[in-house]
Amino acid sequence: MTASASLPTFALARIFPFHFVVDTELRVAAIGPGVARLCPDLALGARLDDALALERPAIRPSWHALSTLGERLVIFRGRGAYARVVLRGQLIALPDDGGLLFAGGPW
């Protein structure tokens, strides 16, 4: 028996205020209020790698590379004026729309 549940956007933002979702082109499709406050460059429609640099694992970010990380730890660092922002968490593939959900927090 398999169970399926989806989380409404308001609940996701409340549970994971530092979440974001990117589409298959690594453009931001959703963003939590905590991340929006810490890193305003990570806005809806922005390219992930324009706002955040992937520090760990040491791979070139692409949808395929990020979607195969499973439960591995990921660390992102803000770019430019937000270079002091460090986010630590996991990426989770969203099967319904092909997006990737980052669930984590500041570190």
Read off the tokens for 42: 């990570």
Nearest-angstrom CA–CA distance, 78 and 63: 19
Whole-angstrom distance, CA of residue 106 vs CA of residue 98: 25
Report the amino acid identity of residue 74: V
- One digit per residue, the tens of pLDDT, for the chain of length 107 reads 455 567 777 888 888 999 999 999 999 999 999 999 999 999 999 999 999 999 999 999 999 999 999 889 999 999 999 999 999 999 999 888 889 999 999 99
Residues in the chain: 107
Q: Which residue has the tokens 């398999």?
A: 2
* Amino acid occupying residue 18: F
Report the predicted TM-score, pTM, of the whole model to 2 decimal places. Answer: 0.89
